[in-house]
Structure formats: structure tokens, C-alpha cells
């Protein structure tokens, strides 16, 4: 807490130009996404593309183009994936520029806002509460400057900085103001590499992707020995026709490879980024979309989240006969004491002018930890006194009569500050000692118009919302109650919370509204909820939210919030719209639920392909299909429907156990499909009147009908477009069977009545078995299996529950575009 000194002027324009010419600039590239080369490499150079590519080359050497269609489809799918990721890259790059920090730099004696790249060595960078330090330097000016270095050192306590002290990039200001001279810029700065990595768009570890990787690892283990056995068996069976043996071998291997699963996962994520980008939502870490979909508890900071940043003076209430005119003059000069006023102080500045005859001697800016700001003023009569402005229940002892009046104002949803005068020095251990309460300042908070609707959405989605604020608990409870938050009528003063983690978790889990929460307590409360198995999201905009944002499973920052909050959050709402959160949740649920749904289709195919290969090896018969048959089966029962299902609306909350749930259905369903088709094949081969083409055609019909039944199960619950999708796939296969040139192209000719109708009968029996399996596993089915995933019904329930059609349409309709 220091008096203001003489301001330094900073570098001159000539000095800046000289440093730029020497290359002493902050030239760290800010990357929000992978490079184009990395995107192409990631989509093209995959292990399964290598397998498919090799088989494509082999089949082109020995067979007609019909049997090589699978290769062209892979090329098309990979191209689509690259295009979608490039679109996502462009979206993120544009949003990253909008959300980039713009520090204030003093040059030629004037303060100006620059980009990080424009800072040069020796620049004088100004600091205020909430600012993030982006380059290394040494403190030149300090006015009660407190800097949190926890992101670098792990130490939560802020450090009081004095002129000459070093400051590192990656730290942020929690209180006070000042300036520092840059000593290291560009790649030499301490946190430059960390900052670059933190802002990069990556497909890093997530439960969904790790689950898919686990599945692919299992498939690889099955694929190699099965493929080797299939190759040997087909060469043995078709000794006289090597080309036919190769074609049959390729036909058996290709469907084992779930080549489109990884592609659809990446594409679903990329399209999610594009959709959210249209809503001015910057996803700084891609798995955040998935993570927020798993959230079951959202911790909300009231100010800036439920309420807008600005405030209005509702009333100035003098106490004990104090002169209201004097209180107004003191408030006016206190407003000038903080160079970076918060919303409360800004409302005071806008309302009360600076009083004449008063002189500011010393100042202490507002701190979230102590809950007050203060100043030593020289009064017109010549006397000096300490004036404090802050939380009444912090500045006054418990039981003070003024606190009853504070509670009455708080019950109206007003934020109340106490103005008091003390003879204790501002630099003393307790400046509030002997404080005389002179006036109460009641501020009216501007509640966001969309806050009630968004809270209703979370309530309907079974996501607990907990309001955690530094304000008075009664006032926070009143605001939350006006928004319809359950449990708001029983707010908790955080100063009464237990310190024991187990007891704290019990209290936090039970209640919904908490006031007078310190930044460290916010962090502890997030940890307490996580210890009880909750997946926690934290939203906030102020520097007091940084610690909790960093520790939460998902941190969501407002775009107008402090640079520090935007730096640690995984998701930044650039337009500051709280109502954007449902869209983020909806995108995550769409990605996870639909990828789980599509994974079932791919893995059923893998299982029945492996089973057919093993049966062919054991029975020493030709493989029943050619590659062209596998292509048409995969396209109509997996590829085309999988694309639509992967991008459809889906609002079921994600749950752990992705791999177990997928395999629980895919393995028995694949066994049923493989057994049904191979049974039909053996029966058809027993009828010597028909040839290989007729046998293959009947078997293909059987496998298609069973796979279509699987698709019909996976597509549940039905909507009009899902029913149309299933019927369209059935119609597509019917065209292949009845149009002559398609019959010839795909070599499918049904002969007679016995074998085709036998295949239909076997398919019906297999379908009934699939229904039994489905009913057995249905209690375990998650979002991806279709339980409760009907977005239309979900949106209707939201409207019925009191959420407006506008918000419901944003959540579900936007995903359908």
C-alpha cells in the first residue's frame, strides 16, 4: 500500500523502432490450432489407412474396379475429415485473435493498448487487477500490487511486489496496480512455451478417444492372425484361381477394419468446434466439449455470470446521523483511488463526483481476499483518517446492529457496501479496528435476462447448479431465488464452512448457494465435489475465480472477464452470454452419445467379419463375399447412416464406461449377424443347383437384413428422420437387387425362391435374438445406445418445464443445422 509516485514515460517511438530492427520483439506465434500439414498427416497417415491402402493396391492389380470401391470411399472420407478440420482450424484461429490478451503499454508518456506481438524489450507494461503477465520483467511501479504465481509455482498465496522485484510470464494480478519493464520477450520468456502449448487446438487424451484407442488395439490383435489364416485358407481353397483367392481374402479383411470410426470421431469434434464458433464460443482445448457433456455439477460465480458486469446505485443510507453530503464526497474520491475499478466502484464513480478539498494520501485497492478497499484521506479541515469501503459483515464485528439492516437490504437482492472511518493506519495489521460505520451503499445488480432459462435447462438435465460468490450470502440467495434456483432459500455463509475436506464435501453437496467465499475456498469446494465423484464445471470472470477454474474439470470464462481467467479456462464465451453454455453442453453430448452410437455399428461389423473369417478357415470354404459386397453392406448399414447419426442432436448426459457399454452390445450382435449369414451360406452351398454367385447373393441379403436390424436398434428412439434413414438404406439395397446394371456391377443375383426366403427367415430369427440381447443390456445402455437421446422429446420437455422455446431451440436446433 503505497502512495502514488512519479510516472515513468516508457520507451519513445524511436527506441521502439530501434528494438524492432534488432529483432527484440515478442515474436512467439500464438497458435490456436494444428497446422495444415499436421491436419493432413493426422488424417492420412493412420495405421488403418495403411492397411486399406495396401489392400487397395493389391485388388487393383488382380480384380475389377468394383472390388476396389472401398479404397475410393476411404479417400473420400479422409478428404471430408481434412476439410472439416481445416474449417475448424479457421474458426479457432479467428476466435483466438478475438480472445487474445491486449496489454496496456506506456510509450512516449501515453498508455496504449497493444497486442502481445507488438511488445518489445524494455517496454513499460501497465498492470491492473485481473491482468495476466505475458512476458518476463522487473517491477518499476507498484501500488499495493499483489501477484498470484500459483500457475507457475503451485503456491496459492499472492506475492506483494515492490519496485525491483522480478515478475514472470504466466502470473496474474490479484490486487493493486503497477507497471513492469520487460526483460525477456519472445521465446526467451519463462512461460512462452507453456502458453503456446496451452492455446493449441489438440486432440489430446479424453475418455472418448482413449476408449476408441483401446477398442482399436483389441481389433488389431484380432486382425493380424485372422487375416493371416484367411489368406492361407483362400489360397488353399482356390488353388486354381489365385486372383479369386486374393479377392475373397481382401473381402474378408476389409470389413474387419473400422476405418471410419476415428474419422467420424475427429469430424464430430471438428464440426462441434465450428458450431460453437458461430456462437462466439472459443474452445481452447478440444476435449472440453466432451468434458462439459460429462458434467453433473456447475459452479457459478454470481457476478458476471448470473448478473451482468455493471451495477447501479440503488440507495445511499447514512448511519447514526452521518452527513450524506460528506459520504458522497468521500465515495467520489475513493473511486479515484483505484486505477482499475471493479463494477461496484465504477457505479460509485459514475454517481458521485470527486469532493473538493479532499486529498488522497495513500490507497489500498480492492482485494477479493480481504473484501475491502481503502484510502488515507486528508480532510478539508486538515485532519487525516483511514476510510474503508467493503463488505459490512467483514468490516464489522458479528452482532453489530448495522448488520441486521444489511441483511434486510440483501434479502431484496441488493449488494451492500459499508463506508466507514477509522483512526487505524491503513498499513496496520487490522485497519478496520475501531471503525465507525457512516453509511451503507446499496447497489442494484443487473441480472442477465437469460440466466433463469439457462438454470432451468441445467435443472431439467439433472445438472446441479451451485452459486459460489464472494458477496453477502443473503444477497446471493435472493438473486438466485429470483432465478428459480432450487435451494436458494437456504444460503450458506462460507465463513461457517468446515475445513475438514470430508465435512466440507457433505455441506457443499447439500446446499446450492454460498456467499462470502474466498478464492481459496472456491478451489476447496470444487475439490470437495470432485472427491464425491462429481464432474465439476466452474464458470467465472474475475481474478478470484482463477484458482477454481484451474482445478475444475472444465473451466468456463466470460470473454469480458480478466485475462487470467481466459488464460486458464478451457472454454471462453467471447460474447459473455451465459445462455451459450447449453449449446456447449449439447455439443458435447452430441459428440459423445453419437460416437458411442456409431461405434456400435462399426464394431458389430468387425465382430461378424472376424467370426466369418474364422468360420471360413475352419470349414475350408471360399469366403462368401467379394470386396464389392462388403462395400455396399458397409455403405448402407454403417457409412451413410453413421454419418447422419454422428451429427444428430443428442442431449443424454455422458457416463463413464464407454468401452464396456459398446462391447456389451457389439459382441453379441456381431456374433448373431455372423452366425446367421454363415448359416445361410452353408445352406445355400448345399443346394448344388445354384452357383457361387447365387450363394453369395443369398448370404449378402441375409447379412444386410441383420445389419439393417442392428441399425434400426441403434437409431432408437425414433424420430421421423431416423425412420426415413433406415427405410432409405433398405430401399438402396432393394435397388441394387432389382436394377439390372447394379446387379451386374455388384454381382448380386438372387436365384429361385428357396435360398432368398431361407435367408429372410434366418434374418428374422436373428433379429428376434438381437431384440432379446437389446432388452437384456438396455439398463446399461448409455447416451449412444439411444436411451433418452431423443432431442425432439428433450426439447419439448424443456419447454414444458418452463424453459422458453427459444433456448430449447438453440440447444437442439443448432445442432441439426
DSSP string, 364-416: EEEETTTTEEEEEEE-TTS-EEEEEEE-HHHHS-TT-THHHHHHHHHTTTEEE
Sign (positive or negative) of CA dihedral 736, 626, 254, 67 = negative
Determine contact, residues 282/96, Cβ cutoff 8 Å.
Answer: yes
Please, which residues bridge with residue 377 across strands?
Answer: 360, 385
In whole angstroms, what is the distance from residue 395 CA to residue 392 CA?
Answer: 5
In whole angstroms, what is the distance from residue 533 CA to residue 111 CA?
Answer: 48
Q: Respond yes or no: is residue 301 known to be catalytic.
A: yes
CA neighbor of 330 nearest in space, from 377, 370, 367, 373? 377
The angle subtended at Cα 299 by Cα 294 and Cα 305, nearest 5°, is 115
Please, which residues bridge with residue 312 across strands?
Answer: 444
In whole angstroms, what is the distance from residue 512 CA to residue 480 CA?
Answer: 9
In whole angstroms, what is the distance from residue 463 CA to residue 795 CA?
Answer: 16
Determine contact, residues 125/178, Cβ cutoff 8 Å.
Answer: no
Long-range contacts of 99-103 (CB under 8 A, 24+ apart): 99/282, 99/559, 99/566, 99/572, 99/574, 100/30, 101/132, 101/134, 101/563, 101/566, 101/567, 103/131, 103/134
Q: In sequence order, what are the residues at sequence separation of 6 or more whose Cβ sits closer than 8 angstroms to the Cβ of residue 52?
A: 70, 71, 74, 254, 257, 259
Q: How many CA atoms lie within 13 A of 477 on its CB side?
A: 22
CA neighbor of 266 nearest in space, from 53, 94, 37, 80? 80
Grid cell, residue 260, equals 471410419
Q: Over the range 664-691, which residues count as b (16 or more CB within 10 Å of their CB) and which as e?
A: bbbebbbbbbbbbbbbbbebbbeeeebe
Which one is catalytic: 67, 131, 301, 338?
A: 301
Sign (positive or negative) of CA dihedral 479, 485, 491, 492 = negative
The angle subtended at Cα 544 by Cα 539 and Cα 547, nearest 5°, is 70
In whole angstroms, what is the distance from residue 517 CA to residue 520 CA?
Answer: 8
Alpha helices in 658-786 (DSSP H): 658-686, 692-714, 720-738, 740-746, 754-777
CA neighbor of 630 nearest in space, from 250, 246, 61? 250
Residue 444: Cβ-neighbour burial (10 angstroms; 0-12, 13-18, 19+): middle
In whole angstroms, what is the distance from residue 257 CA to residue 250 CA?
Answer: 11
Residue 66: Cβ-neighbour burial (10 angstroms; 0-12, 13-18, 19+): middle
Distance from first CA to last CA of the chain, Å, rounded?
Answer: 55
In whole angstroms, what is the distance from residue 600 CA to residue 212 CA?
Answer: 11
DSSP string, 472-509: -HHHHHHHHHHTT-TTTTS-EEGGGS-SSHHHHHHHHH
**Residue with cell string 457496501:** 417
Q: In sequence order, what are the residues at sequence separation of 6 or more whose Cβ sits closer than 8 angstroms to the Cβ of residue 592?
A: 208, 290, 293, 294, 650, 654, 658, 783, 784
Show which residues are catalytic.
301
Amino acid at each position: 500500500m503505497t502512495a502514488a509516485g512519479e510516472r515513468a514515460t516508457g520507451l519513445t517511438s524511436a527506441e521502439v523502432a530501434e528494438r524492432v530492427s534488432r529483432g527484440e520483439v515478442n515474436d512467439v506465434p500464438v497458435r490456436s490450432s494444428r497446422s495444415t500439414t499436421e491436419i493432413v498427416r493426422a488424417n492420412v497417415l493412420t495405421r488403418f489407412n495403411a492397411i486399406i491402402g495396401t489392400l487397395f493396391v493389391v485388388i487393383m492389380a488382380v480384380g475389377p474396379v468394383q472390388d476396389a470401391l472401398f479404397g475410393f470411399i476411404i479417400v473420400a472420407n479422409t478428404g471430408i475429415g481434412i476439410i472439416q478440420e481445416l474449417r475448424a482450424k479457421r474458426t479457432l484461429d479467428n476466435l483466438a485473435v478475438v480472445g487474445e490478451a491486449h496489454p496496456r503499454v506506456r510509450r512516449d508518456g501515453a498508455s496504449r493498448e497493444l497486442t502481445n506481438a507488438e511488445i518489445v524489450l524494455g517496454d513499460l507494461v501497465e498492470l491492473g487487477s485481473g491482468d495476466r503477465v505475458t512476458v518476463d520483467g522487473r517491477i518499476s511501479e507498484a501500488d499495493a500490487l499483489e501477484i498470484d504465481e500459483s500457475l507457475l509455482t503451485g503456491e496459492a498465496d499472492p506475492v506483494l511486489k515492490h519496485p525491483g522485484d522480478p515478475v514472470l510470464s504466466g502470473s496474474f494480478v490479484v490486487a493493486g496496480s503497477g507497471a513492469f519493464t520487460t526483460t525477456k520477450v519472445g521465446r526467451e520468456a519463462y512461460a512462452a512455451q507453456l502458453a503456446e502449448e496451452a492455446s493449441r487446438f489438440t486432440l489430446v487424451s479424453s475418455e472418448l478417444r482413449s476408449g476408441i484407442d483401446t477398442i482399436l488395439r483389441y481389433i488389431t490383435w484380432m486382425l493380424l492372425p485372422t487375416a493371416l489364416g484367411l489368406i492361407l485358407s483362400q489360397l488353399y481353397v482356390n488353388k486354381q484361381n489365385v486372383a479369386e483367392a486374393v479377392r475373397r481374402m481382401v473381402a474378408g479383411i476389409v470389413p474387419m477394419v473400422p476405418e471410419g470410426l476415428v474419422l467420424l470421431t475427429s469430424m464430430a469434434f471438428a464440426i462441434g468446434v465450428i458450431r460453437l464458433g458461430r456462437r462466439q464460443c472459443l474452445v481452447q482445448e478440444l476435449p472440453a466439449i466432451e468434458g462439459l457433456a460429462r458434467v453433473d455439477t456447475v459452479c457459478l460465480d454470481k457476478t458476471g455470470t448470473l448478473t451482468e458486469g455493471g451495477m447501479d446505485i440503488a440507495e445511499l443510507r447514512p448511519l447514526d446521523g452521518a452527513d450524506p453530503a460528506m459520504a458522497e464526497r468521500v465515495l467520489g474520491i475513493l473511486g479515484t483511488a483505484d486505477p482499475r475499478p471493479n463494477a461496484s466502484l465504477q457505479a460509485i464513480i459514475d454517481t458521485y463526483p470527486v469532493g473538493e478539498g479532499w486529498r488522497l494520501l495513500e490507497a489500498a485497492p480492492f482485494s477479493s481476499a480481504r473484501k475491502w478497499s481503502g484510502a488515507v484521506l486528508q480532510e478539508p479541515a486538515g485532519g487525516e483518517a483511514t476510510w474503508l469501503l467493503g463488505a459490512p459483515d467483514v468490516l464489522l464485528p458479528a452482532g453489530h446492529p448495522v448488520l441486521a439492516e444489511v441483511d434486510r437490504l440483501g434479502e431484496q437482492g441488493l449488494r451492500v457496501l459499508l463506508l466507514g472511518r477509522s483512526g487505524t493506519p491503513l498499513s496496520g495489521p487490522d485497519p478496520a479496528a475501531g471503525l465507525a460505520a457512516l453509511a451503507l451503499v446499496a447497489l442494484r445488480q443487473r441480472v442477465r435476462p437469460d440466466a433463469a432459462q439457462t438454470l432451468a435447462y441445467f435443472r431439467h438435465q439433472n445438472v446441479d447448479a451451485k452459486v459460489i460468490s464472494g458477496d453477502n450470502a443473503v444477497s446471493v440467495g435472493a438473486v438466485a431465488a429470483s432465478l428459480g434456483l432450487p435451494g436458494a432459500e437456504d444460503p450458506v455463509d462460507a465463513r461457517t464452512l468446515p475445513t475438514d475436506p470430508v465435512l466440507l464435501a457433505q455441506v457443499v453437496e447439500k446446499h446450492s448457494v454460498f456467499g462470502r467465499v474466498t478464492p481459496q475456498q472456491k478451489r476447496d469446494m470444487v475439490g470437495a465435489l470432485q472427491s464425491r465423484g462429481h464432474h465439476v464445471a466452474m464458470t467465472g470472470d474475475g481474478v478470484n475465480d482463477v484458482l477454481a477454474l484451474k482445478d475444475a474439470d472444465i473451466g468456463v470464462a466470460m470473454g469480458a472477464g480478466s485475462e487470467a481467467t481466459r488464460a486458464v479456462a478451457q472454454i471462453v464465451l467471447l460474447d459473455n452470454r451465459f445462455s451459450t453454455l447449453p449449446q456447449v453442453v449439447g455439443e458435447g453430448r452430441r459428440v459423445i452419445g453419437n460416437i458411442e452410437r456409431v461405434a456400435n455399428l462399426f464394431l458389430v461389423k468387425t465382430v461378424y467379419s472376424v467370426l466369418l473369417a474364422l468360420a471360413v478357415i475352419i470349414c475350408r470354404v471360399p469366403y462368401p463375399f467379394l470386396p464389392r459386397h462388403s462395400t455396399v453392406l458397409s455403405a448402407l448399414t454403417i457409412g451413410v447412416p453413421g454419418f447422419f447419426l454422428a451429427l444428430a442432436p443428442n442431449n443424454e448426459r455422458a457416463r463413464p464406461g464407454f468401452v464396456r457399454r459398446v462391447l456389451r452390445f457389439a459382441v453379441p450382435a456381431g456374433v448373431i449377424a455372423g452366425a446367421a449369414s454363415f448359416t445361410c451360406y452353408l445352406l445355400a452351398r448345399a443346394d448344388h443347383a445354384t452357383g457361387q454367385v447365387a450363394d453369395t447373393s443369398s448370404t449378402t441379403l441375409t447379412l444386410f437384413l441383420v445389419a439393417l436390424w442392428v441399425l434400426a436398434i441403434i437409431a432408437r428412439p425414433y424420430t421421423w428422420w431416423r425412420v426415413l434413414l433406415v427405410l432409405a438404406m433398405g430401399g438402396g439395397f432393394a435397388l441394387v437387387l432389382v436394377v439390372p446394371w447394379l446387379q451386374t456391377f455388384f454381382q448380386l443375383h438372387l436365384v429361385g425362391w428357396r435360398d432368398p426366403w431361407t435367408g429372410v427367415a434366418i434374418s428374422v430369427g436373428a433379429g428376434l435374438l438381437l431384440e432379446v440381447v437389446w432388452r437384456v443390456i438396455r439398463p446399461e445402455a448409455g447416451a449412444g445406445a439411444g436411451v433418452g437421446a431423443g432431442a425432439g422429446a428433450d426439447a419439448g420437455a424443456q419447454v414444458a418445464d418452463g424453459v422458453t422455446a427459444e433456448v430449447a431451440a438453440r440447444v437442439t436446433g443448432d445442432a441439426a443445422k
